[in-house]
Structure 1
Amino acid sequence: MYPPTHSIHSLFDQLGLDSSQQGINEFVSKHSPLAADIKLHQADFWNTSQGAFLQQMMNEDADWAEIVDELDAMLR
């Protein structure tokens, strides 16, 4: 099994967010728990391009999908 291509830190960079461990922890604390009936990309704290990126990565099962899943789990 190969290690993930991307990290949670690189996902936060891609989304234009603070990718430091403290920044990630603060983001998760501020935005969780995310309701079970809301898909990650539909959460109201994303701007249009961030939500579209998350949706596209999941739809395409891209290299980012595993890390997007990790973020989703962190917010639940």
Structure 2
Amino acid sequence: MLGDIDYTMNELFAQLGLENSNADIEAFIAANQLDEDTTLATAEFWNDAQRAFIVEEWKKDAVWAMVLDELNTRLHEAN
């Protein structure tokens, strides 16, 4: 069906306007680890539009929520 999106980490990064190859995603996660007091939505590396997308999708518990949860977990791996 036209317009269908695969709700994957690669597509999330594309939605956020970021490079979305597997290597780019792994590099982003490695370079942007968050401390335990920083939430995904309050991370300094997002611009306003990216932050608004994350907050809205999480608040709606929308289809992106599971992928956002995965990203959140991966960005907190160092803790």
Shift of 1:36: 1.2
Identity %: 38
Partner AA of 1:44 in structure 2: E
- Hey, what's the Cα distance between the residues in 1 that align with 2:15 and 2:52? 12
Instruction: Report the counterpart of residue 48 of structure 1 in structure 2.
Output: 48
The C-alpha deviation readout for 1:31-66, integer Å capped at 9, x for no partner, is 01x111111011000000001100111111000000
Partner AA of 2:53 in structure 1: F
Matched, 1:9 2:13: no
Matched, 1:60 2:60: yes
Partner AA of 2:20 in structure 1: S
- Hey, what's the Cα distance between the residues in 2 that align with 1:48 and 1:20? 23
- Hey, what's the Cα distance between the residues in 1 that align with 2:57 and 2:35? 21
Question: TM-score scaled to structure 2, two decimals?
Answer: 0.86
- Hey, what's the Cα distance between the residues in 2 that align with 1:31 and 1:48? 17
Question: TM-score scaled to structure 1, two decimals?
Answer: 0.90
Unaligned stretches of 5+ in structure 2?
A: 1-5
By percentage of residues, which structure has more helix? 1
The number of residues matched between the two structures is: 71
